[in-house]
């Protein structure tokens, strides 16, 4: 028997592969070579192949699962964590998020991105789509992608594009300081960033026309063209709240997703955050196009936006991935998002069969991989070695009689032991192997304090808001 030497073997865990052909391997081993999964199977199967490793990681009472794919977040918002509680969307934007976004500088944004990416990775997230919209000069965007790569995470910086102020932006009370570039400049800067971080980079750059409601229609189309030309996806907020759909309809005479369809903007490149308020025709058009919706259950609850129509969208053929959205409301822990999404769907349908542990795991992994157009989100030979080892021995996890339910309902990000991304061990025993965690925390604390003062939002920092009703 000839011996094969690989980089890493993880052994001793049950493996939840997310591969429909072979979903669970009891007592499994996973072998990593050159960033990819070289072999996966039971210990006996791997032993029979004569595979040995440079590094062997023995675990017990653990599950190996694909790393989670956070399909929509805004890492820079980390500096505003815990602020804005109890405000409705418009005052939340006006008194908190827009002043923060209009004031943040590159140094502060990068401190936030490092903190957020680190938190995500420590919680078992191996890919992040960071919709970064402040600041958006080419240097900051490329540095943002580099900062994510330093932490070791895969993903995309979806560069926030605003262009010229249009009627929808005025009606949405958007801060005009964000609309600082012309449409031509937006496309040029984004193209420059994509050239630096093209399709296939560990962290790519995508165009992100921020919101269908307040983007110039020609600029929306130019973003899709740019994405197509460079073989990347594009990303936008769409139909998050009822009032933005009403504003859009009153300006354009049709609903947002119908408008996207009529302008040939729905395809498998289209990745839309939220996607809550679609009518039946829109659901069917999104499904036919194979577009991706990113469900952000915690943000949707916090801002009282509504609940995605999960069943109809999936039945129509749409791809529904999962995200954390802005950390100012949600943090980066995808385990929280999984649990929350299951409960929320049960409440929407008043039907406990409307979602399941397996379904939310699919959204967090397999469907995220489909969105990223990469061989990620499932563990099988030849696919990327992006996986996590989750400790299942905690008191809060006992007894894990059905391990997949334990993963989605009892497990926390802090239970993640080891994380492998692109074949590299980026988290070992709950600590980053790539960056100085203490420095990242100290830098983010300083940046947050500076930004709160400069943005003029110190009034939100109070010890206690007496509840109105008590
Ligand atoms: Zn968002």
Residue-wise pLDDT for 132-173, tens only, equals 999 999 999 999 999 999 999 999 999 999 999 999 999 988
- Is the residue at 195 inside a domain? yes
The residue with greater pLDDT, 170 or 327, is: 170
Q: Ligand 1: distance of its center to the CA of 340 in Å?
A: 17
- DSSP per residue, 279-337: -HHHHHHHHHHT-EEEE-HHHHHHTT-----HHHHHHHT-EEEE----HHHH-S-HHHH
- Tell whether 61 and 193 lie within a shared domain: no
- Tell whether 40 and 82 lie within a shared domain: no
Domain boundary among 331, 354, 372: 372
Q: Ligand 1: distance of its center to the CA of 117 in Å?
A: 16
Give the phi and the psi of residue 192 in degrees, each rounded to 5: -60, -45
Q: Ligand 1: distance of its center to the CA of 325 in Å?
A: 5
Q: Ligand 1: distance of its center to the CA of 299 in Å?
A: 8
With 90 as the cut, is the pLDDT of residue 411 above it?
A: yes
Q: Is the whole model's pTM more than 0.85, yes or no?
A: yes
Q: Ligand 1: distance of its center to the CA of 416 in Å?
A: 26
Q: Give the model's pLDDT for residue 86.
A: 79
Span 28-56, pLDDT tens digits? 999 999 999 999 999 999 999 999 999 99
Domain boundary among 372, 397, 416: 372
Q: Ligand 1: distance of its center to the CA of 434 in Å?
A: 28
Q: Ligand 1: distance of its center to the CA of 210 in Å?
A: 9
- DSSP per residue, 200-261: TSSEEEEEEE-BGGGS-HHHHHHHHHHHHHTT--EEEEES-SHHHHHHHHHHHSS-HHHHHH
Q: Ligand 1: distance of its center to the CA of 326 in Å?
A: 6
According to DSSP, the residues that pair with 5 across neighbouring strands are 52
Q: Give Dmax (Cα) for the chain.
A: 74
Q: Give the model's pLDDT for residue 1.
A: 55
- Is the residue at 205 inside a domain? yes
Name the pLDDT band for 328 (thresholds 50, 70, 90).
low
- Is the residue at 469 inside a domain? no
Average pLDDT over residues 428-444: 98
- Is the residue at 206 inside a domain? yes
- Tell whether 111 and 213 lie within a shared domain: yes
- Tell whether 105 and 154 lie within a shared domain: yes
- Is the residue at 448 inside a domain? no
Q: Ligand 1: distance of its center to the CA of 318 in Å?
A: 19
Mean pLDDT of the chain: 96
- Tell whether 219 and 323 lie within a shared domain: yes
Helices (runs of H) and strands (runs of E) counted in the chain: 19, 17
Q: Ligand 1: distance of its center to the CA of 133 in Å?
A: 10
Give the CATH number of the domain where residue 245 resides.
3.20.20.140
Q: Ligand 1: distance of its center to the CA of 394 in Å?
A: 33
- Is the residue at 449 inside a domain? no
- Tell whether 409 and 279 lie within a shared domain: no
Q: Ligand 1: distance of its center to the CA of 329 in Å?
A: 10
- Tell whether 57 and 76 lie within a shared domain: no
Give me the domain span that covers residue 87: 68-372
> Exposed/middle/buried for 350, CB within 10 Å: 0-12, 13-18, 19+?
exposed
Average pLDDT over residues 220-247: 97
- Tell whether 60 and 82 lie within a shared domain: no
Name the pLDDT band for 327 (thresholds 50, 70, 90).
low
The residue with greater pLDDT, 398 or 326, is: 398
Q: Is 34 helix (H, G, I), strand (E, B) or coil?
A: coil
- Tell whether 294 and 343 lie within a shared domain: yes
The total number of structural domains in the chain stands at 2
Q: Ligand 1: distance of its center to the CA of 37 in Å?
A: 33
- Tell whether 300 and 151 lie within a shared domain: yes
- Rounded to whole angstroms, the Cα distance separating 233 from 158 reads 9
Span 47-101, pLDDT tens digits? 999 999 999 999 999 999 999 999 999 999 999 999 988 787 778 888 898 899 9
Q: Give the model's pLDDT for residue 465.
A: 84
- Tell whether 403 and 310 lie within a shared domain: no
Residues 6+ apart with CB under 8 A from 417: 59, 62, 388, 389, 390, 391, 427, 429, 430
Q: Kind and range of the H or E element at 465?
A: none
Q: Ligand 1: distance of its center to the CA of 111 in Å?
A: 19
What the block records as the tokens of 209 is 């026309």
Q: Is 193 helix (H, G, I), strand (E, B) or coil?
A: helix
Q: Ligand 1: distance of its center to the CA of 282 in Å?
A: 21
What the block records as the tokens of 315 is 């039945």
Q: Ligand 1: distance of its center to the CA of 32 in Å?
A: 34
Q: Ligand 1: distance of its center to the CA of 238 in Å?
A: 10
- Is the residue at 337 inside a domain? yes
- Is the residue at 456 inside a domain? no
- Tell whether 62 and 76 lie within a shared domain: no
Domain boundary among 335, 353, 372: 372
Give the CATH number of the domain where residue 12 resides.
2.30.40.10
């Amino acid at each position: 028997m000839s011996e094969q030497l690989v980089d890493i073997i993880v052994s001793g865990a049950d493996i939840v592969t997310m591969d429909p052909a072979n979903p669970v391997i009891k007592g499994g081993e996973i072998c990593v070579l050159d960033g990819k999964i070289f072999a996966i199977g039971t210990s006996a199967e791997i032993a029979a192949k004569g595979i040995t490793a440079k590094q062997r990681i023995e675990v017990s009472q653990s599950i190996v699962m694909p790393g989670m794919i956070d399909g929509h977040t805004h890492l820079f918002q980390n500096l505003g964590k815990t602020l804005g509680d109890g405000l409705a969307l418009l005052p939340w934007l006006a008194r908190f998020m827009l002043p923060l976004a209009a004031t943040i500088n590159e140094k502060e944004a990068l401190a936030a991105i490092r903190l957020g990416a680190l938190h995500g990775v420590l919680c078992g997230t191996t890919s992040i789509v960071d919709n970064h919209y402040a600041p958006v000069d080419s240097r900051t965007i490329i540095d943002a992608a580099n900062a994510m790569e330093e932490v070791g995470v895969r993903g995309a910086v979806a560069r926030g594009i605003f262009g010229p102020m249009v009627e929808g932006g005025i009606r949405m009370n958007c801060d005009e300081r964000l609309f600082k570039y012309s449409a031509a400049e937006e496309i040029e800067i984004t193209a420059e960033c994509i050239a630096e971080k093209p399709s296939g980079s560990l962290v790519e750059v995508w165009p992100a026309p921020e919101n269908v409601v307040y983007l110039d229609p020609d600029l929306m189309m130019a973003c899709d063209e740019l994405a197509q030309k460079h073989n990347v996806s594009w990303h936008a907020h769409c139909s998050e709240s009822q009032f933005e759909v009403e504003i859009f309809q009153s300006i354009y005479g049709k609903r947002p997703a119908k408008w996207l369809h009529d302008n040939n903007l729905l395809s498998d490149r289209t990745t839309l955050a939220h996607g809550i308020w679609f009518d039946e025709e829109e659901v069917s058009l999104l499904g036919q196009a194979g577009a991706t919706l990113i469900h952000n259950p915690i943000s949707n609850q916090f801002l009282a936006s509504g609940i995605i129509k999960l069943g109809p969208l999936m039945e129509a053929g749409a791809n529904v991935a999962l995200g954390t959205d802005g950390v100012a409301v949600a943090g980066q822990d995808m385990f929280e998002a999984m649990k929350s999404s299951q409960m929320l769907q049960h409440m929407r349908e008043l039907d406990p069969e409307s979602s399941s542990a397996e379904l939310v795991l699919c959204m967090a992994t397999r469907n995220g991989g489909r969105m990223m157009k990469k061989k990620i989100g499932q563990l099988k030979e030849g696919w990327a070695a992006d996986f996590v080892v989750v400790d299942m021995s905690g008191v809060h996890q006992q007894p894990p009689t059905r391990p997949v339910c334990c993963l989605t309902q009892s497990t926390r990000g802090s239970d993640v032991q080891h994380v492998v991304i692109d074949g590299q061990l980026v988290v070992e025993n709950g600590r980053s192997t790539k960056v100085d965690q203490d420095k990242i925390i100290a830098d983010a604390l300083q940046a947050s304090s500076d930004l709160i003062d400069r943005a003029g939002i110190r009034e939100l920092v109070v010890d206690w808001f007496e509840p109105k009703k008590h």
